[in-house]
């Protein structure tokens, strides 16, 4: 089993319960996900067969309370994300969407009836959810969205297009954001609702083991999430998901680093010496372990602040942006250290690298999170500048 990456005694910052949860997720990643992933990625197939097992382990909505959710601490939740993404970003994305982008808004903005109907099903994996915010012409700037919701009698009727939606075509329930008058509001749309269709996006070189779809809503009935009033409520869901991403990408970085470290000790060039004996190689390994360690510390502090209710969106921007950037750089450096072998799917590195290109873009691009940080430290918003 994976032995972990811990240069700076970061494990001493976790309690026994947190380490136990990580061990469970680690074993699941190694024994259940890893053996499937190479073929899933080749075949562009999401391993739905893993959903009931992840549900039984409490991974779905793990840090939420009630309705069958495990009520884990934010560090426990983060460590699960880390281990899942060490296996593959697509599997972690499924769990992020289900918990942070579907269960969280239903729990936070839904009626008691909506919670009782959907949360136990979503937690147990009997239902799958998706989150529709992005549109063909509005990605980084969802405030411009064109999807509309209007009241016809006592029914909400939705019209519009959403795209790049994780889990879209396999979802039983979609959380859809639409313009209702001068406000953006959140709605639930059930699979099979007349006027609702979901089609898969093909030809991806990234997140191949994840379902990504476009949604079309044509005079389609939606159920209002009464508390989801304004774009801020959609962004609050994204904050939950981005927090998990900040941890998840650490797993991908660790897998790349460990693969390259091990390889460098056995691969011999120039007089039978391992490539690890070269200073240039050691400098790359030193860079990776230093950046991974800094990223781990950022993640642990984020978890502690989140438990205290003190984690702010601008903190999460730094966590998501920094940790994704260093993970992607670790993937690129590790690929380099494996030479030609690095480009094959015998090793996980190119898969992680391709997946991380999505992670850099979704849930707020690297640029946009840079602008959030810039606004925080200057007091000046530069999004339109």
Q: What are the backbone angles phi and psi of residue 328, rounded to the nearest 5°?
A: -65, -40
If one asks whether residue 326 binds ligand FAD (CB under 6 A), the answer comes out as: no
Nearest distance from C-beta of residue 142 to ligand FAD, angstroms: 8
If one asks whether residue 147 binds ligand FAD (CB under 6 A), the answer comes out as: no
Say how far apart CA 336 and CA 343 lie, in whole Å. 9
Helix (DSSP H) and strand (DSSP E) numbers for the chain = 12, 9
Nearest distance from C-beta of residue 383 to ligand FAD, angstroms: 4
If one asks whether residue 288 binds ligand FAD (CB under 6 A), the answer comes out as: no
Which residue is nearest to ligand FAD, using beta carbons?
A: 139
Give the tokens for residue 68. 């069958």
Say how far apart CA 231 and CA 178 lie, in whole Å. 10
Q: How many residues does the chain have?
A: 385
Nearest distance from C-beta of residue 373 to ligand FAD, angstroms: 13
Tokens 């992933």 belong to residue: 37
Nearest distance from C-beta of residue 305 to ligand FAD, angstroms: 24
In the bound state with ligand FAD, the residue whose beta carbon lies nearer, of 260 and 356, is 356
SS3 call for 135: strand
Contact 61, 4 (CB under 8 A): no
If one asks whether residue 140 binds ligand FAD (CB under 6 A), the answer comes out as: yes
Which one of 37-45, 130-138, 310-318, 330-338 is the stretch in contact with ligand FAD (CB under 6 A)? 130-138
If one asks whether residue 367 binds ligand FAD (CB under 6 A), the answer comes out as: yes
Among 72, 75, 80, 97, binds ligand FAD (CB under 6 A): 97
Which one of 70-78, 110-118, 224-232, 360-368 is the stretch in contact with ligand FAD (CB under 6 A)? 360-368
Contact 269, 340 (CB under 8 A): no
In the bound state with ligand FAD, the residue whose beta carbon lies nearer, of 75 and 220, is 220
Among 87, 316, 358, 372, binds ligand FAD (CB under 6 A): 358
Nearest distance from C-beta of residue 208 to ligand FAD, angstroms: 10
CA 245 remoteness from chain centre: 4
| Residues facing residue 174 across a β-bridge | 130, 189
With contacts defined by CB under 6 A, how many residues of the chain interact with ligand FAD?
Answer: 21
Q: Which among 83, 135, 223, 363 is annotated as catalytic? A: 363
CA atoms within 13 A on the CB side of 97: 30
Angle between helices 231-266 and 89-96 (to 10 degrees): 160
Say how far apart CA 254 and CA 6 lie, in whole Å. 10
Restricted to residues 190-249, the positions that interact with ligand FAD (CB under 6 A) are 207, 212
User: Within 10 A of 291 (CB to CB), how many other CB atoms are there?
Assistant: 20
Say how far apart CA 99 and CA 123 lie, in whole Å. 8
If one asks whether residue 317 binds ligand FAD (CB under 6 A), the answer comes out as: no
Q: What are the backbone angles phi and psi of residue 190, rounded to the nearest 5°?
A: -90, 145
Among 94, 118, 131, 247, binds ligand FAD (CB under 6 A): 131
Nearest to 80 by CA among 302, 254, 248, 293: 248
CA angle at 251 for the pair 126 and 330, rounded to the nearest 5°: 140
CA atoms within 13 A on the CB side of 192: 1
Which one of 56-64, 125-133, 153-161, 242-250 is the stretch in contact with ligand FAD (CB under 6 A)? 125-133
Q: Is 363 a catalytic residue?
A: yes
Among 77, 351, 362, 369, binds ligand FAD (CB under 6 A): 362
Nearest distance from C-beta of residue 212 to ligand FAD, angstroms: 5
In the bound state with ligand FAD, the residue whose beta carbon lies nearer, of 247 and 362, is 362
Among 80, 165, 228, 353, binds ligand FAD (CB under 6 A): 165
If one asks whether residue 7 binds ligand FAD (CB under 6 A), the answer comes out as: no
Contact positions vs ligand FAD (CB under 6 A): 97, 131-134, 139-140, 164-166, 207, 212, 358, 361-363, 365, 367-368, 371, 383
Which residues are known catalytic residues? 363
């Amino acid at each position: 089993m994976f032995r972990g990456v811990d240069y700076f005694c970061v494990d001493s910052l976790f309690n026994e319960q947190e380490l136990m949860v990580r061990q469970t997720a680690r074993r699941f990643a190694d024994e259940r996900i890893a053996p499937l992933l190479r073929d899933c990625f080749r075949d562009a197939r999401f391993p739905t067969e893993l959903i009931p097992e992840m549900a039984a382990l409490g991974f779905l909505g793990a840090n939420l309370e009630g309705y069958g959710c495990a009520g884990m601490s934010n560090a426990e939740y983060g460590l699960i994300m880390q281990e899942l993404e060490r296996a593959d970003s697509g599997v972690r994305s499924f769990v992020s969407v289900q918990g942070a982008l579907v269960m969280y808004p239903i729990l936070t903005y839904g009626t008691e009836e909506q919670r009782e109907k959907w949360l136990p099903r979503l937690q147990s994996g009997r239902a799958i959810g998706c989150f529709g915010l992005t549109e063909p012409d509005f990605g980084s700037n969802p405030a411009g969205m064109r999807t509309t919701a209007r009241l016809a009698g006592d029914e909400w009727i939705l019209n519009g297009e959403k795209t790049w939606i994780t889990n879209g075509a396999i979802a039983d329930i979609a959380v859809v954001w639409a313009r209702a008058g001068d406000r953006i509001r959140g709605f639930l749309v059930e699979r099979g609702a007349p006027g609702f269709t979901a089609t898969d996006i093909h030809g991806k070189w990234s997140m191949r083991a994840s379902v990504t779809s476009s949604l079309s809503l044509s005079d389609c009935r939606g159920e209002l999430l009464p508390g989801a009033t304004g774009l801020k409520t959609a962004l609050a869901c994204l904050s939950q998901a981005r927090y998990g991403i900040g941890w998840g990408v650490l797993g991908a970085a660790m897998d790349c680093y460990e693969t390259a470290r091990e390889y460098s000790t056995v691969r011999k060039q120039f007089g039978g010496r391992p490539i690890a004996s070269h200073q240039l190689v050691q400098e790359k390994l030193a860079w990776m372990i230093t950046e991974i360690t800094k990223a781990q510390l950022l993640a642990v502090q984020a978890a502690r602040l989140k438990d205290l209710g003190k984690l702010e969106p601008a903190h999460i921007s730094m966590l998501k942006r920094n940790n994704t950037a260093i993970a992607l750089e670790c993937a690129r450096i590790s690929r380099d250290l494996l030479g030609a072998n690095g480009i094959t799917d015998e090793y996980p590195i190119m898969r992680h690298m391709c997946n991380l290109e999505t992670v850099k873009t979704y849930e707020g691009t690297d640029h946009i999170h840079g602008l959030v940080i810039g606004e925080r430290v200057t007091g000046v918003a530069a999004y339109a500048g």
